A and B are shown apart, each in its own frame.
Chain A
Amino acid sequence: MKLPLSNLTGLAMLALSGVHAQAETPRQILDSYVAQAGAASATRGETLFRGQFSGGRIARACTACHTDDARAMGQHVKTGKVIDPLAPVAQKDRFTDPAKVEKWFRRNCNEVLGRECTPQEKADFTAYMITLK
């Protein structure tokens, strides 16, 4: 018996969605931020990633823990724990779980910038992460 390819894809997607109900693609996560904020800019996202701030308590920049290259392994400045790469190209499950992405924007923006990030900043940051190849 031959199954049309589209059926197989549908089955595969069904199987995948069963594994993790929240799973999305980084592109979908970006789209949801763009829907709130308007067009995203990967350049502005990179500026945010490399920016030096003084509002937070733990670190002055994202790069303090995530290193200058978001595709590389990072290390928590305080605890020393190794951190998986932030860019989806290097770590497949990054930017695939909306709740997790929100949680870490909330925590890390507070710890580095001393405030929550705006939807625009989240959109830009996500766009930058996705462009890394």
Chain B
Amino acid sequence: MANIRLRADRYGIDWKNLLTLAVAVGAAVLWIARAPASDEALFPMPVGKTYLNECGSCHTAYAPGHLPARSWRRMMAELSDHFGEDASLDQPAHLSILKDLETLAADNPAANQRMRRIAAGVPAGATPQRITETAYFRHLHDEVPKHFWRRKSIGNPANCAACHPRANEGRYGEREIRIPAQ
């Protein structure tokens, strides 16, 4: 003990600066732990059940932040031939969903960094209708082998929820990915 105290004294270490160090390290750890992980991939989702019930009954309730507003506007204008299906809505639902899509689209003024990246990857004037055709999607899924998509419980790349269990909540975080074996 005497030795340690002697050495500590020599370096000018006392309880006061040890405590300062501990508090600083603790604060840093807390700050890091509370910050969202870079892979969290959170997208804001429309409030209420309309979007989930109307759009999410046939496919994943895709987060609006995956496409720019102009894509959504075109899609909503062409709902009677929605990828070959008649998905037209009554007017109140149509208006409410269009508003949600525009408010939360990739290029909305309050978009997060990831959404802005998505919007930046879409050529000016282009109105992509498939999220899977955006540069962002392709880049993030380029390591997924083609045959994975054809597994029965996945079917095709539009089935986000097959591997991203909380896709309907706008959560696509890498740590949550569960790729079904069949």
Contact = CB atoms under 8 A, between A and B. Distances in A.
Interface stretch (B17-25, B67-75, B105-113, B155-163): B155-163
Contact of B155 (A57, A79, A110): A79
Interface in A49-83: 57-58, 75-76, 78-82
Contacts, number: 39
B84 interface: yes
A76 B59 contact: yes
Contact of A110 (B83, B86, B158, B161): B86
- Size bracket of the A interface: 10 to 19
B178 to A, nearest CB: 14
Contacts of B162: 80
B159 A79 contact: yes
Contacts of B86: 107, 110-111
Contacts of A110: 86
B84 A79 contact: no
Interface in A68-103: 75-76, 78-82
Interface string B133-162: 000000000000000000011111011011
B127 interface: no
Contacts of A78: 83-85, 156
A79 B132 CA distance: 13
Contacts of B84: 57-58, 78
A76 B83 CA distance: 14
Contacts of B159: 79-81
B85 A57 contact: yes
A75 B87 CA distance: 18
A63 to B, nearest CB: 16
Interface of A: 57-58, 75-76, 78-82, 107, 110-111
6 contacts: A76-B58, A78-B156, A79-B59, A81-B59, A81-B161, A107-B86
Given A81-B60, A81-B161, A82-B161, 5 more contacts: A80-B156, A80-B159, A81-B58, A81-B159, A111-B86
